[in-house]
Amino acid sequence: PIVFRGPNGCAAGVAAQHSQCFAAWYGHCPGLKVISPYDSEDCKGLLKAAVRDHDPVVFLENELMYGTTFEIEDQVMEDNFLLPIGKAKVMKQGKDITLVSHSIGVGFCMGAAELLAKEGISAEVINLRSIRPLDIDTVNQSVMKTNHLITVEGGFPMFGVGAEVCAQVIEGPAFHYLDAPVIRCTGVDVPMPYAKSLEVRATPQAEDVVKAVKKVLNR
């Protein structure tokens, strides 16, 4: 039992060697548990759970989130607060489309959901929290309700986390509930650029998620 903790994903002008997402790399390995937290609640509850776990755990944090503050419930500050590894969280309820993401991508989805709400589109946002094990049951339940799915991640499209989510949905009970093909909103399939302005364009932002939603819903 050991925990490997470190920064992961898009940063700010540090190029390909320091700004790519390794969630899919580690998630590919049997025997590893892979955590990708979004907010303060995730970081505290899941890191403590990882330390107590009997298996090796890779704990992937996005360095752009360091210093970001979140409102939390009182129970999060309790010494015995833990979160279960392998359980996703529905960050926002919706009825028109499901947005599935992890880490900083959850923030992009929440921003997109706010923009979409102004146009009468209700998006449900799921924070995976855990890459392996993957809580596909929560995703399936949401898809059965909304009938549409978009995955959002900063990683590359080929063999990514979104690809795995799509595959499991297609192979599972939610497939026949889909009214449109699943879309993966990912980083661009190129080595991460060094320039900060290009890095932003190479990773999905809230506006990109909005465009993907409108494509799926034919809006």
**Rounded mean pLDDT of the chain?**
95
pLDDT at 219: 83
The residue to which tokens 């709400």 are assigned: 117
Q: Alpha carbon 6 to chain centroid distance?
A: 17
φ, ψ for residue 170 (rounded to 5)?
-65, -35
pLDDT at 101: 98
Per-residue pLDDT tens for 203-214? 999 999 999 999
Per-residue pLDDT tens for 70-79? 999 999 999 9
Q: b/e per residue, 33-66, with b = 16+ CB within 10 A?
A: bbbbbbbbbbbbbbbebbeebeebbbbbbbbbbe
Q: Which helix (H) or strand (E) holds 184?
A: strand 183-185
Asked if the bond preceding 173 is cis, omega within 30° of 0, the reply is no
Question: Is the pLDDT score of 16 beyond 80?
Answer: no
Question: Is the pLDDT score of 32 beyond 90?
Answer: yes
Per-residue pLDDT tens for 165-192? 999 999 999 999 999 999 999 999 999 8
pLDDT at 118: 97
- The residue among 195, 191, 1, 219 whose CA lies nearest residue 123 is 219
Question: Is the pLDDT score of 12 beyond 80?
Answer: no
Per-residue pLDDT tens for 42-62? 999 999 999 999 999 999 999
Cα distances (Å, whole numbers) of residue 108 to 39, 69, 78, 151, 213: 13, 16, 29, 11, 13
